[in-house]
Structure 1
Amino acid sequence: MRIFLYSLHTAIKNLWHEKWINFLTVMTVGVGLILLGTFILITLNMDSAIKRWSKGFGIVVYLNDDLSRDEEEELNEQFQKDPDIEEITYVSRAAALSELKDALGDKQSILQGFDKNPLPASFELKLRKGLLEPDWIRQKALEIKQMTQVEDVQYGEKWLLSLSSMTDDMKIIAILFGAVIFVAIAFASYSTIKILFYRRKDEIETLKLLGATRGFIRAPFLLEGFFIGLSGGIAGFLGLLS
């Protein structure tokens, strides 16, 4: 206990004696943590936004024009049994035409050239969360397209690939940025301790001659590093809160 109190007293005394060097180190650590924390928050917010966008993602299955109502019901039952499909919405030909007219607004006259409804009936399939891997969805779309009742399948492949690429890039950038900040903080702390070590070289040599152990000599330096890191962490935390 006496050794710890001596080391603590020595560390506090040395921190005050070299206050400007230690202050700059604390600020360096604090600014580094603020930058890292800010980037992490931005990354988390972007990831959250991407997850919100992906909630509405699904596959649109267009049906053959000559399907009977019983065949459509049979296909609907197949989709309901699929564990990968979370929600199924049937859009009839009439409903699809009504949606198109609403989208066209005052330009509905372009549809007058059609003798009959040109739009097919469809199923809108919402997939379970966590199944937005491009390769998996591509395979799923191919399986559905091979069904005899299906005319075509669309699922926004380009959008999905862009989303997946953006997510992967964000993770890589976050790891690299975090590594750079960590190295910078570690280097700043190490350099400060090394400078202080050389400034007290004579004092250390005297302690060695008096028979002091390595642990006894190192303890004040370790406590100084702890206090510098703690102060930098608090400064960074307060900076993020502000």
Structure 2
Amino acid sequence: MRERMKFFLSDAILRAFQNMRGNLFPILTTIGIIGISMLIFSTFSLFAFNLTSILKIWEDKIEVIAYLKKGVPLGEVEGVLKKVRRVEGVEAVKYVSPYDALSFMEKKLGSQKNLLEGIQPGVLPSSFEIQLEKDYRNSLRIKEVVFHLKEFRQIEEVQYGQEWVETFSAIVHVFRLTQGIMGGLLLIGLMFIISNTLQLTISSRKEEIEIMHIVGASPASIQVPFYIEGLIQGLLGTGLAVLFLFFLYYKVLLYKVFFLYLTPVMKEWFAGIPVLFLPPKTVVIILLGGMVLGLFGSFVASMRFLRYSG
């Protein structure tokens, strides 16, 4: 039984390659269409991956600043610091003295730090810079932390950039929703395009299939070579798509040519954010996905053709 199956598969693979070599033009056309289709999906995946990375970087920048009242003794500050660290949702706390705040402002102003001449550190309040746990970096959970911080009598004011946090949370929600919908629609579209393209390829070999029917070939011996062709065409088309996408990434994205078309504000937002290519694991998944789509397209196309021709 095992030997018979081994012979059947080796024969099917051989016939698949022979069929592809004998029908080079329609096969190349199919590979090209699969390549274009998968290039669209891979490009979408690349942008989605980089947008996710950008959102992650922006998410890490979300922090809460608690300003202390003037005149709070340093010994009391230490006690408050320990209590703040125990607040649910707080990941890390850093104490910023008035001297640290003034030094930071001088570095921020750079060559214009002379604007701070005459300002004494005592004018600036002490503060806590609070990093939040990942689950609390959204507009709803961050308010819980702020509520608890305001209960400390030593804290004068709590700031966390409410508008920015709410905007960021909305962006994340819309992006994830759009990513799911667009990804699903693209996959459905790809399956439709690939199955119809492969059906045209199979239809072009109608006479060959009819002869096989006449000589008594089983449905499996007719269909399996088509499935193998679908796998190979899916792999080749997807591989070409990934290679072309890497070329575009290397020539356009890596050198940030798109920066030329951004406004100064947008350039500041994206400064220091790396443009990444898809990780190897994702590339492998896309290649396997292309093979599966090719196999599925061949299955649908062959079943449809055999049903109509039968």
Asked whether the two chains share a fold, i.e. TM above 0.5, the reply is yes
Q: Is the Cα contact below 8 Å between 1:60 and 1:125 reproduced in 2? A: yes
1:105 aligns with 2:113: yes
Q: Is the Cα contact below 8 Å between 2:30 and 2:233 reproduced in 1? A: yes
1:164 aligns with 2:176: no
Deviation readout 1:188-231 (Å, 9 max, x if unpaired) = 32113322333334443443344332212211221221221121
After superposition, the Cα gap between the structure-2 partners of 1:216 and 1:238, relative to the gap in structure 1 and judged at 3 Å, is same
Percent identity of the aligned residues? 25
Deviation readout 1:165-203 (Å, 9 max, x if unpaired) = 223333333333333432333223211332233333444
> Which amino acid in the other structure matches residue 18 of structure 1?
N
Measure the CA separation in 2 of the matches of 1:98 and 1:223: 68
The equivalent of 1:79 in structure 2 is 84
Measure the CA separation in 2 of the matches of 1:157 and 1:195: 57
Moved more, 141-150 or 86-95: 86-95
Q: CA deviation at 1:60?
A: 0.7
Higher relative contact order (CA 8 A, sep 6+): 1
Q: Is the Cα contact below 8 Å between 2:30 and 2:198 reproduced in 1? A: no
Q: CA deviation at 1:66?
A: 4.7
After superposition, the Cα gap between the structure-2 partners of 1:96 and 1:13, relative to the gap in structure 1 and judged at 3 Å, is closer
Q: CA deviation at 1:126?
A: 1.9
Measure the CA separation in 2 of the matches of 1:139 and 1:82: 10
Instruction: List runs of 5+ in structure 1 lacking aligned partners.
Output: none
After superposition, the Cα gap between the structure-2 partners of 1:49 and 1:195, relative to the gap in structure 1 and judged at 3 Å, is closer
Q: CA deviation at 1:98?
A: 5.8
Q: Is the Cα contact below 8 Å between 1:40 and 1:174 reproduced in 2? A: no
Larger Rg: 1
Normalising by structure 1, report the TM-score.
0.81
> Which amino acid in the other structure matches residue 83 of structure 2?
Q
Q: Is the Cα contact below 8 Å between 1:131 and 1:137 reproduced in 2? A: yes
Structure 2 SS opposite 1:59: strand
The equivalent of 2:12 in structure 1 is 7
Structure 2 SS opposite 1:120: coil
Deviation readout 1:52-84 (Å, 9 max, x if unpaired) = 333343111112235333432221120233463
Q: Is the Cα contact below 8 Å between 2:67 and 2:157 reproduced in 1? A: yes
Q: Is the Cα contact below 8 Å between 1:80 and 1:88 reproduced in 2? A: yes
The equivalent of 1:183 in structure 2 is 188
Which residue of 114, 135, 139 corresponds with 1:134? 139
Q: CA deviation at 1:41?
A: 2.4
The equivalent of 2:229 in structure 1 is 224
Q: CA deviation at 1:97?
A: 5.2
Normalising by structure 2, report the TM-score.
0.65
Q: Provide the aligned length of Structure 1 versus Structure 2.
A: 239
Measure the CA separation in 2 of the matches of 1:94 and 1:224: 71
Q: What pairs with 1:200-219 in structure 2 (closer than 5 Å)?
A: 200-219=205-224
Instruction: List runs of 5+ in structure 2 lacking aligned partners.
Output: 1-5, 248-310
Measure the CA separation in 1 of the matches of 2:239 and 2:220: 28
Q: Is the Cα contact below 8 Å between 2:92 and 2:130 reproduced in 1? A: yes
The equivalent of 1:68 in structure 2 is 73
The equivalent of 2:285 in structure 1 is none
1:236 aligns with 2:244: no
After superposition, the Cα gap between the structure-2 partners of 1:41 and 1:193, relative to the gap in structure 1 and judged at 3 Å, is closer
Give RMSD over aligned pairs.
3.0
Q: CA deviation at 1:2?
A: 4.0
